[in-house]
């Protein structure tokens, strides 16, 4: 699925929450006592906060601050090469989620797959705003150079609103790779997207890099140390394959990777798989997460709910009473929506 959306016009990327200190993430997957209760995560995937997202609008995977009181997501009212997705936010106030509101800094630009880091101190997203070194790329709705951008946490506003520094491109070697004249109009080539921060601070993302990639879309990992992020490396087989691998996230153990792939043997479309990094750095053969998570439609872009007790992801599976709508190619499809499932129910090995 090609994802196209909006970006910057104001100074601060804001969203809000009730006055409450951020809670440090719990590596064990236990939920801190003072986080917002979202109920018990289901053993089989179900829509996530279905009353918040319009049924006939595409809504992509949500991401939440560690206290679960501020949420960001991307919505797309009518998929088309001429329309944009919108980055929106909601706050949990007085026992309820506020209506989705646009994030001022991103209005008028394209944006993809937001992510709040597990420690709550940085905000990440794929952003198509031109910047130094990329200004020569035409920024039309057909050709955009998505890069990874980041904002850092500021003190909360007096009303409890979460605040971030202005977004800036990630300054790390070879994370953001410019498009060239040869690949300017080729989908996601050199478009970096789906950022996720691992428990050890590493940056996981996906892109198409046909000069060094293993297939179409591939997963890359930039390690973190005292000097910052290193140059990203292509994750080896059997994680990446000659098929499309995209959207990934590490579970709280820091070793188990959940990611999307179109490799054969799935239930249909793109499915979610799990692979574990061994002590020697090799990876186990990916396991399809099965019908409790996947469907005959497409699943992708997993995210970990703060506390680690649930996996969030997006799916285009049918939903009762929700009609199909044309996608960017004019094909009738089920609108994408956020789903969630208990991590304890995942068929991991």
pLDDT band at 188 (very low <50, low <70, confident <90, very high): confident
* Per-residue confidence (pLDDT) for residue 189, from 0 to 100: 87
Phi/psi for 343 (5° steps) reads: -70, -25
What percent of the chain is predicted at pLDDT more than 90? 63
* Per-residue confidence (pLDDT) for residue 226, from 0 to 100: 84
Structure letter (DSSP) for residue 264: T
* Per-residue confidence (pLDDT) for residue 137, from 0 to 100: 67
- Tell the CATH topology of 14-20+41-345: Neuraminidase (2.120.10)
pLDDT band at 140 (very low <50, low <70, confident <90, very high): low
- Mean pLDDT across 289-295: 97
- Mean pLDDT across 215-243: 93
The CA distance from 86 to 106, in Å, is 8
pLDDT tens track for 55-114: 888 999 999 999 999 999 999 887 776 778 889 999 999 899 999 999 999 998 889 899
* Per-residue confidence (pLDDT) for residue 185, from 0 to 100: 78
Nearest to 259 by CA among 271, 276, 277, 242: 271
- Mean pLDDT across 46-62: 91
**pLDDT at residue 227 is higher than 60:** yes
pLDDT band at 201 (very low <50, low <70, confident <90, very high): very high
* Per-residue confidence (pLDDT) for residue 244, from 0 to 100: 94
**pLDDT at residue 251 is higher than 80:** yes
Q: How many beta carbons lie within 10 A of that of residue 116, not counting itself?
A: 26
Q: From the centroid of its chain, how far is CA 269?
A: 18
Greatest C-alpha distance within the chain: 53
Q: How many beta carbons lie within 10 A of that of residue 82, not counting itself?
A: 9
Q: What is the mean pLDDT of the chain?
A: 86
pLDDT band at 13 (very low <50, low <70, confident <90, very high): very low
Structure letter (DSSP) for residue 258: E
**pLDDT at residue 31 is higher than 80:** no
**pLDDT at residue 7 is higher than 90:** no
For the chain, what are the domain ranges? Answer: 14-20+41-345
pLDDT band at 328 (very low <50, low <70, confident <90, very high): confident
pLDDT band at 331 (very low <50, low <70, confident <90, very high): confident
In terms of pLDDT, which residue wins out, 320 or 261?
261
* Per-residue confidence (pLDDT) for residue 212, from 0 to 100: 81
- Mean pLDDT across 192-213: 92
**pLDDT at residue 134 is higher than 80:** no
């Amino acid at each position: 699925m090609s994802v196209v959306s909006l970006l910057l016009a104001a100074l601060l990327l804001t969203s809000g929450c009730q006055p409450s200190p951020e809670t440090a993430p719990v590596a064990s997957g236990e939920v801190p006592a003072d986080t917002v209760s979202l109920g018990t995560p289901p053993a089989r995937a179900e829509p996530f906060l279905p009353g918040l997202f319009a049924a006939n609008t595409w809504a992509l995977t949500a991401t939440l601050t560690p206290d679960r009181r501020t949420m960001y997501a991307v919505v797309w009212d009518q998929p088309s090469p001429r329309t944009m997705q919108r980055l929106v936010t909601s706050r949990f106030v007085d026992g309820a989620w506020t209506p989705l509101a646009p994030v001022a800094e991103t209005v008028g630009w394209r944006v993809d797959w937001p992510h709040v880091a597990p420690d709550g101190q940085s905000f990440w997203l794929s952003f198509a705003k031109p910047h130094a070194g990329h200004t020569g790329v035409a920024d039309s709705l057909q050709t955009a150079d998505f890069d990874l951008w980041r904002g850092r946490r500021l003190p909360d506003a007096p009303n409890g609103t979460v605040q971030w520094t202005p977004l800036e491109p990630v300054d790390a070697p070879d994370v953001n790779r410019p498009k060239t004249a040869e690949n300017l109009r080729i989908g996601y080539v050199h478009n970096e997207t789906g950022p996720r921060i691992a428990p050890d601070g590493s940056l996981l993302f996906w892109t198409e890099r046909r000069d060094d990639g293993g297939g179409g879309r591939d997963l890359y990992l930039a390690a973190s140390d005292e000097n910052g992020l290193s140059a990203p490396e292509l994750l080896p087989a059997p994680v990446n394959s000659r098929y499309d691998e995209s959207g990934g996230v590490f579970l709280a153990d820091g070793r188990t990777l959940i990611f999307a792939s179109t490799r054969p043997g799935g239930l249909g479309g793109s499915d979610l798989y799990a692979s574990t990094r061994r002590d020697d750095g090799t990876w186990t053969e990916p396991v399809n997460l099965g019908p409790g998570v996947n469907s005959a439609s497409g699943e992708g872009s997993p995210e970990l709910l703060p506390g680690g007790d649930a996996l969030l992801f997006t799916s285009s599976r049918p939903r009762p009473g929700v009609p199909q709508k044309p996608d960017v190619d004019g094909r009738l499809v089920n609108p994408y929506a956020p789903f969630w499932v208990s991590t304890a129910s995942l068929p991991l090995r």
